[in-house]
């Protein structure tokens, strides 16, 4: 009987460990030579931003338009300025890491109307876009 209890506990432990380790996903790593497209949503009086919609609907939609050229994307939620008492300068920043900036621009141009018409569902902010090339990653 004690052996049966031990085997049951061992089996339960192994099963739970397997489930937990299957949940761990190694985050993709940026690499030099990638392009980072950053979309900034500046804070200000009367500015609104629905982070839940942006994270769950808008960003996946745009990622789908980019396709295989996309290495990964990130969403930053602003929490404060330089100090915790300073207002956040950007309510959100979205980042797309792509291999080919020309292919990215073509994908966005092809889907520009869908992307712009989706803004009204999560913000009243006109975003600012910056494209950067990653030159060093440590």
Nearest to 38 by CA among 134, 111, 112: 134
Q: Place 33 in a pLDDT band, splitting at 50, 70 and 90.
A: confident
85 or 12: which leads in pLDDT: 85
pTM for the full predicted model: 0.78
**Assigned domain for 116 exists:** yes
- Give 135's Cβ-side CA count (13 Å radius): 2
C-alpha 43/C-alpha 49 separation (Å) is 9
**CATH code for the domain in which residue 118 is found:** 3.30.70.100
pLDDT in tens, 81-98: 999 999 999 999 999 999
**Assigned domain for 121 exists:** yes
Q: Would you state the pLDDT for residue 25?
A: 54
Does residue 114 carry a pLDDT above 70? yes
Phi, psi values for residue 134, rounded to 5°:
-75, 120
Q: Would you state the pLDDT for residue 8?
A: 43
* pLDDT, mean of residues 52-81: 97
Provide the residue range defining the domain that includes 95: 35-133
């Amino acid at each position: 009987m004690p052996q049966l209890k031990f085997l049951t506990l061992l089996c339960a432990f192994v099963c739970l460990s397997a489930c937990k380790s299957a949940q761990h996903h190694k985050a993709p790593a940026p690499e030099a030579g990638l392009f980072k497209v950053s979309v900034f949503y500046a804070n200000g009086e009367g500015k609104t931003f629905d982070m839940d919609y942006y994270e769950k609907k808008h960003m996946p939609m745009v990622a789908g338009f980019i396709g295989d050229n996309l290495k990964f994307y990130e969403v930053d939620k602003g929490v404060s300025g330089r100090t915790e008492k300073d207002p956040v300068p950007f309510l959100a920043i979205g980042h797309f890491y792509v291999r080919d900036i020309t292919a990215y621009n073509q994908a966005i141009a092809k889907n520009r109307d869908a992307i712009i018409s989706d803004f009204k569902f999560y913000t009243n902010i006109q975003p600012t876009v910056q494209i950067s090339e990653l030159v060093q990653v440590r």
